């Protein structure tokens, strides 16, 4: 015999003054409390990896220069190319390399950028690699 046997099977108390709280609202009382708002987001952002910009060697720079000259000579054909270039991260140091299949419309030598048929502008100094139809032959 337990000392609580006399109250163990009594009906649950219902207040005559306060309405019964729904189960969902009662459960919300016990939800975890985030004392540091945004802390989890900051941890995820810090853990997100970025790449460093690759510094090209002279022979790679010469190869890219040769390809740019080829593209410049064939601009009226709006040549197709696969370009790999660096995009800086907006939130932290570093960035990532993107590879895109583009149709080149113009080369702006003054601003040092390639302008695609989709009006995208790719800075020449961010280009890691270009492959054109000439490379495939």
**pLDDT single digits (tens) 71-125:** 999 999 989 999 999 999 988 889 999 999 999 999 999 999 999 999 999 999 9
CB 113 within 8 A of CB 123: yes
Tens digits of per-residue pLDDT, 41-81? 888 888 888 889 999 999 999 999 999 999 999 999 989 99
- Region of 76 on the Ramachandran plot (φ > 0 left; ψ -120 to 50 alpha; else beta): alpha
Whether the pTM exceeds 0.85: the reply is: no
């Amino acid at each position: 015999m337990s000392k609580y046997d006399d109250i163990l099977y009594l009906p649950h108390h219902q207040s005559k003054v306060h309405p019964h709280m729904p189960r969902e609202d009662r459960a919300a009382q016990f939800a975890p409390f985030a004392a540091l708002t945004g802390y989890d987001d900051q941890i995820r952002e810090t853990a997100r990896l970025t790449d460093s910009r690759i510094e090209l060697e002279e022979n790679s720079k010469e190869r890219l220069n040769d390809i740019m000259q080829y593209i410049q000579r064939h601009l009226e054909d709006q040549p197709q190319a696969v370009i790999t270039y660096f995009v800086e991260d907006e939130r932290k140091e570093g960035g990532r390399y993107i590879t895109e299949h583009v149709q080149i419309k113009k080369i702006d030598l003054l601003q040092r950028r390639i302008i695609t048929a989709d009006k995208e502008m790719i800075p020449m100094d961010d280009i890691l690699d270009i492959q054109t139809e000439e490379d495939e032959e």
